[in-house]
Amino acid sequence: MTAQRVMITAGASGIGLAAARAFGKAGAAVFVCDIDEAALARLACELPDVKTAVCDVSRRGDVEHMVAAAATALGGLDVLLNNAGISGPTAPVEEMDPDAWDAVVRVNLIGTFNVTRCAIPHLKSSKSGVILNMSSIAGRFGYANRSPYCVSKWGLIGFTKTLSIELGQYGIRVNAILPGPVQGERLEQVFQGRAKLSGRSQEEETELAMSIQSLKRFVDPREVAALCVFLASDAGKSISGQALPIDNDALKAS
């Protein structure tokens, strides 16, 4: 079987890095872009076979250049993992900084659109093209004081469904993945922001987030990566147009 050719946005840390490791372990040829040059350098040391590029997905020109470079470096493209996203501010809508709102939408939604738009011609040439869009539990529930993030993650689900309908005729499968709270520095920053706004401690915010889950744990990035590899494999060849939670059975928004 020919090795899959996989492109991952924001693949130098967190879920993206876990996915790069998992796809590489599965025998795929991997291309990672990220805005963080230092993180890319660390990735290159750990996984020297992975090809990398610096890219700000909020800049259309950068995206167009990066996708072309990725397709050239890999000799084509079979799997696109749209993982790039930012958390954005924690504030009620009436107090939201419009520039901060715009920044979240530019990265999370418009950036994903542009990466996908540029990747589709290459995916059409694949025998089994796959697009995976990293949404969130915030794409299932509304979250007070997180409006730009929630809007962008709900939007990715609509984008996923539209793509699955448009691209099914080319054999391209498209799914959205909806992680719950994922262990790591970014989650700590979210809880810090919530604590500052609510007046509760960060520990109380952590306990509140855990309380609305049936399973009392946070998601390991490696678990999300394993789901990505499964959905991109032949085992997932009949799964498309879906929004798949991986959230320890979250029952509502915290």
Q: How many CB atoms lie within 10 A of CB 25?
A: 11
The model's confidence at residue 75, banded by pLDDT at 50, 70 and 90, is: very high
pLDDT, tens digit, for every residue of 6-43? Answer: 999 999 999 999 999 999 999 999 999 999 999 999 99
Quick check: is 192 in a domain?
no
Whether 1 shows a pLDDT value over 60: the answer reads no
pTM over 0.85: yes
Q: Which of 45-59, 129-143, 197-211 has the lowest mean pLDDT?
A: 197-211
| Of 49 and 205, the one with more pLDDT | 49
Torsion of CA 183, 110, 236, 73, to 10 degrees: -90
201 within domain boundaries: no
Catalytic residues: 149
Q: Can you give the CATH number for the domain in which 23 is found?
A: 3.40.50.720
Give a yes or no: residue 204 inside a domain.
no
Phi, psi of 149 (to 5 degrees): -65, -45
Evaluate whether residue 160 is within a structural domain.
Answer: yes
Number of domains in the chain: 1
Which residue range forms the structural domain that includes residue 235?
5-185+220-246
Q: Per the domain annotation, does 209 fall within a domain?
A: no
Residue 208 inside a domain? The answer is no
Rg (CA), the chain: 18
Q: Which pLDDT score is estimated for 186?
A: 72
Task: Dig out the tokens for 170 from the structure.
Answer: 């080319």
pLDDT category, 95, cuts 50, 70, 90? very high
- Domain membership flag for residue 191: no
Phi, psi of 53 (to 5 degrees): -155, 145
